[in-house]
Structure formats: C-alpha cells, structure tokens
C-alpha cells in the first residue's frame, strides 16, 4: 500500500525514469568476511578445503545466510524501490547447482 514515505512503484514510473541499481556487493565486501565464511561444514565441503572461495558471495546463501539477511536489510532500508542483485559471472562452486537434501549448512 502506497504511503507518503513509500510511494507505489507504478506511480513513480509514471512520473520519471527509475534506475534500479545498488552496491549490494560493496556492502558484502564491507562485512570483513574471511575465507572460512565461504566454506561450509561436513563431507561435501571437505574436497573444497584447499580451494579459495573468498569473494564468491553466492556461497554465502549456504554458509552465512545471517550475513546476507543483515546486508539485505541494510540495502533495502533506504530504498523506495528494489531490484535483485546481479548474479556472479562465475559458478558458485565446483559442486552441482542444485542443493541436495544432505547439503550441509553452517
């Protein structure tokens, strides 16, 4: 429901051009994450112990969802509109893209 502090997106689009962009990745970089934050626990992750995953923010959905939630709230707080962040140009890991039922969580 539109309000004076949060107008409806359709109303805004009628008035002006909207640019939906943001520094989601920048906010993630400012979190001070270390290599261990990008690695999960358990058997599927063991083969990746020697692989550098730091900076592969797509993995945080599995390893540090708390950080993603915090950044997501900070990113959306001042925004009257929102667009999803651009996906990483690289695959999230050498593992399959679907999450098996036994995939470990942190």
pLDDT (tens digit, 9 = 90+) per residue, 5-45? 677 778 888 888 776 666 778 889 899 999 999 998 888 88
C-alpha distances (whole Å) from 46 to each of 35, 37, 50, 81 are 14, 14, 9, 40
Cα of first residue to Cα of last residue in the chain, in angstroms, is 37
Find the range with the poorest average confidence among 18-22, 35-39, 66-70, 81-85. Answer: 81-85
Mean pLDDT of the chain: 76
What pTM did the predictor assign?
0.55
- Return the residue matching tokens 């002006």: 16
């Amino acid at each position: 429901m539109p309000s004076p502090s949060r107008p409806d997106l359709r109303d805004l689009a009628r008035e002006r051009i909207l640019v939906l962009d943001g520094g989601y990745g920048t906010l993630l970089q400012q979190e001070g994450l270390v290599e261990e934050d990008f690695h999960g626990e358990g058997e599927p992750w063991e083969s990746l112990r020697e692989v550098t995953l730091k900076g592969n923010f797509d993995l945080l959905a599995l390893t540090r969802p708390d950080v993603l939630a915090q950044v997501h709230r900070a990113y959306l707080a001042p925004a009257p509109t929102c667009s999803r962040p651009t996906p990483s140009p690289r695959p999230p890991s050498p593992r399959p893209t679907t999450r098996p039922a036994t995939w470990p969580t942190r």
